[in-house]
Every structure is written in structure tokens, then in C-alpha cells.
Amino acid sequence: MFDVAIIGAGIIGGMTARELSRYQLKTVILEKCHDVAMGTTKANSAIVHAGFDAEPGTLKARLNVQGSEEMEQICQDLGVKYQRNGSLVIAYREEDLPMVQVLYERGLQNGVKNLAVLNQEELLALEPSLSDQALGALYAPTGAIVCPYELNIASVGNAMDNGTELMLDYQVTGIEVQEDGFLITGTGEPVKARFIVNAAGVYSDKIAEMVGDHSFTITPRKGQYMLLDHDCVGTIRHTLFNVPSKMGKGILVSPTVDNNLLLGPTAENQEDREDVSTTQEGLNMVQQNALKVVPKVNLRGVITAFAGLRAVGSTGDYILTSPVKGFWNAGGVESPGLSSAPAIASYLVEHMAEQGLVLEPKPDYNPYREALHAFNNMTIEEKNQVIRENPLYGHIVCRCETISEGEIVDAIHQNPPARDLDGVKRRTRAGMGRCQGGFCGPMVTEILAREWNIPLEEVTKFGGASYLNVGKTREVKDHE
Ligand SMILES: Cc1cc2nc3c(=O)[nH]c(=O)nc-3n(C[C@H](O)[C@H](O)[C@H](O)COP(=O)(O)OP(=O)(O)OC[C@H]3O[C@@H](n4cnc5c(N)ncnc54)[C@H](O)[C@@H]3O)c2cc1C
């Protein structure tokens, strides 16, 4: 019997697991995919929002500001990249200027520190790459950027280092409410737990229905992006937003912590909870809007396009509710869910304690984790020393991002281990560069086969039947 079962290994499941791992509890994470960070947390704007956007008095507003304040320390502890680059919400039309003031007032009410309203001159002095059509902006110096999947992997990894169990390829299909807890059934052995956290993202309403809770629904809202290569960032330092609409924060332009430039997202409601395809129409819209913000952006530097799904809840706020004692929903966690994740995790753990979860601190709890990119950040002398001890670090596999075999092998053996090509990519950045894995993909596949001791044909791109090789050329030909 587990004390807590968390359904979903996104940032909410990961942060909640990490928070619980401080205590003497038996916790398991059940995740339907082949890896962690495979849902919304994989594909978003990567902004740690300052907290001026949400309506004062909502959970979104409170937990965003709290999460944003905690994020820098958490990233430091987990060895995750974090940059406080500040954000600007820019007005391009006279009629948008009142909204800048509204956001400023809202931010003050929400407790966001150091906000300022800038006029055109101040704005262009701060961010010279902007179009001179920009009339003024809200400046939030506490806005920041992170790598969302790196943070997700690190939070689950740290929870695992502290004793949390992770069951992958486990899709929850049923929950029976019992006298002493819950019986969870799915695509693995049944699991018994006294408490459940429903952190299933766009499926959180479906999981809630399994315990008879029909109080909310989720609408997936797609956001499409374009990612540009390192040399396109130019002088852009801040995250640049347009004044928001009721569909969201609009199309932004932002540097990433890995020194790429991100453009997007669109906001398109859909029924399908899996469809993360991009469309020409969507990408055209991203392009046109981005050009309005930074007219000189080099669109020839686009290296990939992708989309993510917001889990838009029917209540308009985060749905952190307990319809049955011991069962907690973390539903409707749309933006700023990444920024709020540490605060949502504390909120859930505190409320579970009120329902009888005993929080006895673990004496040997370790909040720290070695950075996934430690080798890359070393000085040349330090690198040489590491290479002398382990020559695999001297073998560069990904030339675009300069990633060595040593780092790939580390990622395969760390918690949670990289089990497929995309898993290596998210952990090390091998395959994230201009050639998108065209050069290093086959080598990473061989390393995966060797380290997992499986035939090459069994290595996948992202689990399931996404095999990368079907056999040796001659054998396949002879078979035909
Ligand atoms: C376009 C876009 C832009 C965004 N930008 C930002 C931003 O800049 N800043 C910010 O703070 N937030 C942003 N967000 C919001 C943020 O990404 C989300 O709030 C956050 O990632 C939600 O995390 P989660 O853990 O709830 O969901 P997910 O990451 O989706 O995790 C849910 C997990 O549950 C698993 N699961 C589902 N069903 C089952 C089942 N039956 N059994 C087992 N496992 C299951 C899924 O496989 C998945 O891994 C953005 C979102 C989008 C889509």
C-alpha cells in the first residue's frame, strides 16, 4: 500500500512528488508515457511569469506569485538553468495602453514586486530590437525563463533519489474508492494508495470522473511555436508579450535559457487531447505576429516547429479540489502552471496533511541534484580533467550542441533514466540543434542499444512502436 499515488509525471506530478519526498512516505508516480515530461510540460513558452496576469483573488494569481518567488532557489538546488531576464507587455495601439495600466494595477494587487509602466523612450532604451511602433509597456523585472522539461526531469529525478517510485507506461484506467484508500487499475499491476493526486493534465477531468467527480471539464487549447537557432537571438534580452486577449497572452518572442529564440504560441481550441501537429496557417500567424514585435527577426533561422496543449478548465481557475476524501484534483492547470508548480505542490501536500497524511520529515532528505549540463558548463581545464578520467567525455556525438558520449551515458543511467532517443534529447540537448539529430541520431541510437543491452531494432524514438530501425538492410531486403 502506497501513502500517495500521483497520476501524471508532468511538472505538477513531479513537483508534488519532490515535495512529498521530504517526508517519510511511500509515494509512487504513475505515468502513461514511456518517459516523464511528455505532456504539456514538454511544449510551452518556458516563462516563469511574474504574476500580473491572473485576476486578483484567484488561486492562479496567488500560486503564480508564490511559485515564481520560489523558482530561482529550486532551480539552483536541482541544477536547472534559470535566467531572470524580465518581461515586457507591449502596447502597439493607443487603445492597448489602458490594458497596460490594468495589468500594472493587477500585478500590484497580486503582490508582484518592482513593476513599472514604461513610455516609448524608456521601452526602446531597454529593448532596442523592438519595432518603433511600440508605444509603451509594462515591465516586470521578476519575470524569468527556465527549460520546462529539464525542470520536470530534475524534479522527478530528485524525488526518485529520495525514494519515490516511478511506474512508466502505466495508464490509469479505473479507480475504486475503498474504505482505507483507493485501488487503481491500469496497464500494469493494480496499485493501492491511501491518497491520490490527479495531475493528469488534459486528462484530469477523465481521471476525476473515475471517482464520480463530474464538476469540471477540460478543453485542450493548442499553441504552436517556431524555434530559431542561436544566432537569431541578437540583442533580444527580455520576454516580449503583446497585450493579452481573452484567449491568452498572445504571441510572444522570447530568448530561451539555451540561447534559442522562441516565437509563439497560437491559441486554438480543439477536441482532440493528443493532436499536437503544427499547421501552415498556425505558423504563418506566429510569423506575422512575431514580425510586428521584432521586425528584424531572421526567420530563415527556424530550426523546428512544435505545439503544446493547454488544459483549459471549465471554472477559469486552477481546480485544486478534493471531491472524495484522500483524492486531490490538480485540474485546469493551464498557464501559468509551470510558474505555479512549486506552490501548487505545497498547496496539495498541506491540504492532504489536513486530511490525515502524516508528514514526518525524512532525516536524510537531499534537496540537491547534479546539473544535467554540468560538463558543458565546466572550464576547459575541468573538462580536460574529466576527459582524462573518462574518455567518453572527449567523444563529441552532437556537433550542433557539442554534446559528448559521456553526457549521454550519464543521462541513460540517471534518475529518471533516458530510455529512448527523445529522452536523451530532452536531457542532454543532443539532437536539439540546427540539424535536429540528423547527424547524431544514429549514434545516440547505438549508445542506447549498448547501454540498455537491447538490439538496435528495439530502440525507439519515444516508446511504443516508434522504432527507429527495422533490421539490417540486407536481411530486410532478403525477407521481401
Ligand atoms: C502553449 C502553452 C504555453 C504555455 N506557456 C507557459 C508559460 O510560459 N509559463 C507557465 O507557467 N505555464 C505555461 N503553460 C502552462 C504549463 O505548460 C502547464 O500548466 C503545465 O505544464 C501543466 O503541467 P501538468 O503536470 O499539469 O500537465 P502535463 O505536463 O500534461 O502532465 C500530465 C501527465 O499526465 C499523464 N497522464 C494523462 N493521463 C494519464 C493516465 N490516465 N494515466 C497515467 N498518466 C496519465 C500524461 O501523459 C502527462 O505526462 C503553457 C501551456 C501551453 C500549452
DSSP for 392-439 reads GGGSEEETTTTEEHHHHHHHHHSSSPP-SHHHHHHHH-TT-STTTTTT
Mutate to test the pocket of ligand 1, among 45, 266, 422 (most ligand atoms within 8 A of CB): 45
For residue 200, report the distance from its CA to the centre of ligand 1, in Å: 8
Q: Identify whether 49 is a catalytic site residue.
A: yes
Cβ 222 under 6 angstroms from ligand 1: no
From the CA of 186, give the closest atom in ligand 1. 42
Mutate to test the pocket of ligand 1, among 30, 44, 197, 320 (most ligand atoms within 8 A of CB): 44
Summarised one tens digit per residue, pLDDT across range 420-471 is 999 999 999 999 998 899 989 999 999 999 999 999 999 999 999 999 988 7
Cβ 61 under 6 angstroms from ligand 1: no
Out of 34, 49, 238, 373, the active site residue is 49
Summarised one tens digit per residue, pLDDT across range 143-159 is 999 999 999 999 999 99
Cβ 38 under 6 angstroms from ligand 1: yes
Nearest CA to ligand 1 atom 33: 8
Summarised one tens digit per residue, pLDDT across range 305-358 is 999 999 999 999 999 999 999 999 999 999 999 999 999 999 999 999 999 999
Give the containing element (helix H, strand E) for 177: strand 172-178
For residue 38, report the distance from its CA to the centre of ligand 1, in Å: 8
Residue where the block lists cell 486578483: 56
For the entire predicted model, the pTM comes to: 0.96
Q: Which residues, in sequence order, are bridge partners of residue 89?
A: 138, 241
- Residues 279-285: contacts with CB within 8 Å, 24+ apart? 279/224, 282/222, 282/224, 282/307, 283/224, 283/226, 285/224, 285/251
pLDDT of residue 415: 96
What span, in angstroms and rounded, lies between the C-alpha atoms of 379 and 120? Answer: 41
pLDDT of residue 463: 94
Residue in 369, 432, 372, 441 with CA at minimum distance from that of residue 402? 432
Q: Is the pLDDT of residue 477 over 80?
A: no
Summarised one tens digit per residue, pLDDT across range 344-354 is 999 999 999 99
Cβ 152 under 6 angstroms from ligand 1: no
From the CA of 39, give the closest atom in ligand 1. 30
DSSP for 71-105 reads HHHHHHHHT--EE---EEEEE-SGGGHHHHHHHHH
Percent of the chain with pLDDT over 90: 87
For residue 10, report the distance from its CA to the centre of ligand 1, in Å: 6
What span, in angstroms and rounded, lies between the C-alpha atoms of 82 and 370? Answer: 15
Cβ 172 under 6 angstroms from ligand 1: yes
Cβ 265 under 6 angstroms from ligand 1: yes
Cβ 40 under 6 angstroms from ligand 1: yes
Give the phi and the psi of residue 354 in degrees, each rounded to 5: -65, -25
**Residue 155 DSSP SS3:** helix
Non-local CB neighbours of 104 within 8 Å, separated by 6+ positions: 52, 115, 116, 117, 138
For residue 41, report the distance from its CA to the centre of ligand 1, in Å: 4
For residue 238, report the distance from its CA to the centre of ligand 1, in Å: 24
Summarised one tens digit per residue, pLDDT across range 354-366 is 999 999 999 999 9
Cβ 79 under 6 angstroms from ligand 1: no
Give the pLDDT band (50/70/90) at residue 246: low
421 near 460, Cβ under 8 Å? Answer: yes
What span, in angstroms and rounded, lies between the C-alpha atoms of 11 and 149? Answer: 8
What span, in angstroms and rounded, lies between the C-alpha atoms of 191 and 172? Answer: 10
Cβ 30 under 6 angstroms from ligand 1: yes
From the CA of 46, give the closest atom in ligand 1. 8
For residue 270, report the distance from its CA to the centre of ligand 1, in Å: 16
For residue 97, report the distance from its CA to the centre of ligand 1, in Å: 32
Nearest CA to ligand 1 atom 1: 223
More confident residue, 252 or 293: 252
Peptide bond into 361 cis (omega under 30): no
Nearest CA to ligand 1 atom 4: 44
Cβ 13 under 6 angstroms from ligand 1: yes
DSSP for 244-305 reads PBTTBS--EEEE-TTS-EEEE---EE-S-SS-----HHHHHHHHHHHHHH-TT--GGGEEEE
Nearest CA to ligand 1 atom 48: 39
What span, in angstroms and rounded, lies between the C-alpha atoms of 427 and 416? Answer: 10
Cβ 267 under 6 angstroms from ligand 1: no
Q: How many CB atoms lie within 10 A of CB 41?
A: 27
- Residue 4 CB burial class (10 angstroms; 0-12, 13-18, ≥19): buried
Residue in 67, 50, 48 with CA at minimum distance from that of residue 108? 50
Provide the terminal-to-terminal Cα distance of the chain, rounded to the nearest Å.
Answer: 51
For residue 48, report the distance from its CA to the centre of ligand 1, in Å: 15
Summarised one tens digit per residue, pLDDT across range 13-57 is 999 999 999 999 999 999 999 999 999 999 999 999 999 999 999
Summarised one tens digit per residue, pLDDT across range 51-109 is 999 999 999 999 999 999 999 999 999 999 999 999 999 999 899 999 999 999 999 99
Least confident of 106-110, 211-215, 233-237: 233-237
Cβ 23 under 6 angstroms from ligand 1: no
Residue where the block lists cell 516609448: 120
- Report the pLDDT averaged over residues 131-152: 95
Residue where the block lists cell 525514494: 163
Residue where the block lists cell 576527459: 387
Domains by residue range for the chain, with CATH = 81-144+219-309 (3.30.9.10), 380-479 (no CATH)
From the CA of 36, give the closest atom in ligand 1. 49
From the CA of 47, give the closest atom in ligand 1. 8
If you average pLDDT over every residue of the chain, what do you get? 95
Cβ 229 under 6 angstroms from ligand 1: no
